[in-house]
Structure formats: structure tokens, C-alpha cells
Amino acid sequence: MKLRSLLTFTLTLTLGLCAVSAQEQVALQLDLPKPLFVGTPRPIKMANLEVFSHKRPDFMVPAGTVLLSAGKEVTSSDEFPVIGELGFVTDGDKTGMDGSFLEIGPGTQWVQIDLGASSPLAAIVVWHFHSQARVYHDFIVQVSDDKTFKTGVTTLYNTDDDNSSALGAGKDVNYIESNMGRIVDAKGTKARYVRLYSNGNTSNELNHYCEVEVFGTPAK
């Protein structure tokens, strides 16, 4: 009788732990814009380029993860954009149509989002200019609680394999832009500021953003 009770208790505990575990991670839900090109893009020759696909596996995030970046303040290394406004980066419009994207100057440039408080981050999703298949050079994503990014900097993604942007060499894969955007794993890193770098692209020397979405757990 005691053995049966023990087995019943163990089974109940195991099922309970499985249920809790299943509730801890959920698939990140993204509102994707309509694709602006279809089919397989023209070949782009460059090192460490990911094979293009219109599909990707679910990206799992902790339950309770929310969008933290909507409408948040954006600053940039280029204070006078060529096209658009800095606010376009967090305004929710990721269509990529004329009048919806930011274009900033050539060379290594950055945009930075102030989330308003330091929070555990789960994912950062980036849509550069996606109406044409192209690859952005030296795509680097960093987070910090220091708005100057001089201390406490964590690099989450870095495709700069030759350190041409002087932020350290990276080994992450290059990828072709599409309406799916790019999901960067933030790995639960706690930070208030998100900074994204690029150094032109395979079509021209300029830098573009349609939208950046930062997901995480709200600060308590």
C-alpha cells in the first residue's frame, strides 16, 4: 500500500513538473509583413552566407514575454537620416514600403533603442530593407545598461568576420533580408539599451531599418 502511494506520488510529481516545464517556453509570435519579393533570390557570393529559406523553426521564449520596444526612443550615430525618421525603427510599421523605412549614412553606423528600464531580454527581431534580396555587412547587435556602450556590453550577434567595424571579429552567419526579419537570441541578458550596427549592404553603401522589435520580460 505504501509502495503504491509512493508510485502515485512520484507519477503525479513528474506530470506536474512536465506541465510546468511545458508552460515555461512558448513560441515567439511575430506579425510578419507581406513579402516584397517571391521565389529564390539571385545568388549573392560572400563568405559564411546562410542558405536562404522562406521557413524557419519556432523560436521559443519564456512564457510572459512581451514586446518592450514599441514606441521607445531611438538614437543613432547619424543624427540626420538620408530618408525617414529615427522613430520609424520602433513605430510598428515593418512593411518596407516607401515612407516606412529609415536610411542612414554610409560606413559603420548604429541605431540604439532605449527600453526605459533594464529587463531580461528574450529576442531581438530586425527588419532591414527587405524589398530586395541583399545582405547587410557587419551586422552586430549589442546590449548594455550603459547608454554610451563603454561598459557592461554584451554582443549577441556579429557577422563582422574581418573586424572591419572594429568591434571585434564575429563568427555569426550572414543572411539575406526578407519579410521574415532576423531573430537574434538575447539569451535572457538583462539590459536597458539595444544597439544595432551595420556597414552598408550588397546593393549599396547605405544602412536601413524598417523595424526592430525587442522582446523580454517587463522590469519589476
Q: Could you tell me if 48 and 174 are in contact, meaning their C-beta atoms sit under 8 angstroms apart?
A: yes
Q: Could you tell me if 198 and 207 are in contact, meaning their C-beta atoms sit under 8 angstroms apart?
A: yes
User: Mean pLDDT score of the chain, rounded to an integer?
Assistant: 90
At 5, the pLDDT band (50, 70, 90 cuts) reads: low
Spell out the domain ranges in the chain.
Answer: 59-216
Mean pLDDT of 167-181: 97
Residue-wise pLDDT for 142-159, tens only, equals: 999 999 999 999 999 999
The residue behind cell 544595432 is 196
Helix/strand/coil for 9:
helix
Residue-wise pLDDT for 83-93, tens only, equals: 999 999 999 99
Residue-wise pLDDT for 30-47, tens only, equals: 999 999 876 667 778 888
DSSP state of 46: -
Residue 56 pLDDT > 50 = yes
Residue environment code for 29-52, b if the CB has 16+ CB neighbours within 10 A, otherwise e: ebeebeebeeeeeeeeeeeebeee
Domain 59-216 adopts which CATH fold? Jelly Rolls (2.60.120)
Residue ranges in 126-204 assigned as alpha helix (H): none
The CA distance from 3 to 5, in Å, is 5
Residue 9 pLDDT > 70 = no
- Can you give the pLDDT at residue 13? 43
Residue environment code for 134-163, b if the CB has 16+ CB neighbours within 10 A, otherwise e: bbbbbbbbbbbeeeebeeebebbbbbbbee
